[in-house]
């Protein structure tokens, strides 16, 4: 599976960015501009999203990690947001020689809450998304975008950027959305986190309704080499709603490499 990607900038350690469920690489355009050409950046469309083709035989989580690995340069800093964060975490665990630095944005090892994991969405909410996806996938994606910015400062502007990414670069294919939602419902990376010995920046939003900040706090405490930043009055897309603060933290982390 060849994933579509766009590369800009010059430097020795490219930053590879993986987006979340239902979106595409256009969500990182503002970050690319903020970092400037001095920081090489590679943004990737996940399988069946944006300009990347969909292959039903590689719909599972491990197969999508394989696709990400095939798209990485020999050595990089890897940034993952939401579902992209889970893929980035598993990629770093599987190929630590390829990942020099790891950035997890609004990421959780497990999306769905259970008795031993209070930092997730209720299973009933995930089931409701799955039911709605089968009947009206356009509205399901729109509802998910609305949920991402709820409680955030500058929510209207952040939502507009998410919507523009889909309008300009294309919506995800329904089959890819269904497969991605199944990953969100089933994947549990709690056992993986302790095995990732990569310097990691964990960024969360105070009012994130999808991956509560408690999930990021757990990751920061479990990853052997992690630094956590919680942005006040941020939702699920802090790199959009709090761009200056996010970019400052990211640049400092990358420059320390």
Q: In angstroms, rounded to a whole number, what is the distance separating the alpha carbons of residues 35 and 171? A: 26
CA atoms of 145 and 204, how far apart (whole Å): 17
| Partners of 110 in beta bridges | none
Catalytic residues: 82, 208, 236
Q: What are the helix (H) ranges across the chain?
A: 29-35, 61-71, 83-94, 123-135, 137-149, 155-169, 174-186, 190-193, 213-222, 238-241, 243-255
How many degrees, rounded to 5, is the angle at CA 167 between CA 163 and CA 169? Answer: 115
């Amino acid at each position: 599976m060849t994933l579509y990607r766009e590369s800009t900038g010059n430097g020795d350690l490219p930053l590879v960015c993986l987006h979340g469920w239902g979106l595409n690489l256009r969500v990182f355009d503002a970050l690319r501009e903020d970092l400037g050409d001095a920081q090489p950046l590679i943004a990737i469309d996940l399988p069946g999203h944006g300009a990347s083709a969909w292959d039903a035989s590689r719909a599972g989580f491990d197969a999508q990690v394989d696709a990400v690995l095939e798209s990485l340069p020999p050595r990089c800093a890897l940034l993952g947001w939401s579902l992209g964060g889970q893929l980035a975490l598993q990629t770093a665990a599987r190929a630590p020689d390829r990942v020099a630095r790891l950035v997890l944005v609004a990421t959780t090892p497990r999306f769905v809450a259970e008795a031993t994991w209070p930092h997730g969405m209720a299973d009933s909410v995930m089931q409701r998304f799955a039911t709605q996806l089968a009947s009206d996938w356009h509205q399901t994606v729109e509802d998910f975008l609305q949920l991402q910015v709820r409680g955030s400062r500058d929510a209207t502007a952040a939502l507009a950027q998410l919507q523009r990414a889909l309008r300009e670069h294309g919506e995800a294919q329904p089959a890819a959305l269904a497969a991605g939602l199944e990953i969100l419902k089933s994947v549990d990376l709690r056992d993986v986190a302790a095995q990732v010995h990569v310097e990691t920046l964990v960024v969360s939003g105070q009012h994130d309704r999808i991956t509560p900040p408690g999930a990021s706090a757990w990751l920061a405490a479990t990853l052997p080499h992690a630094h956590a930043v919680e942005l006040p009055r941020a939702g699920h897309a802090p790199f959009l709603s709090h761009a200056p603060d996010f970019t400052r933290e990211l640049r400092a982390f990358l420059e320390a490499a």
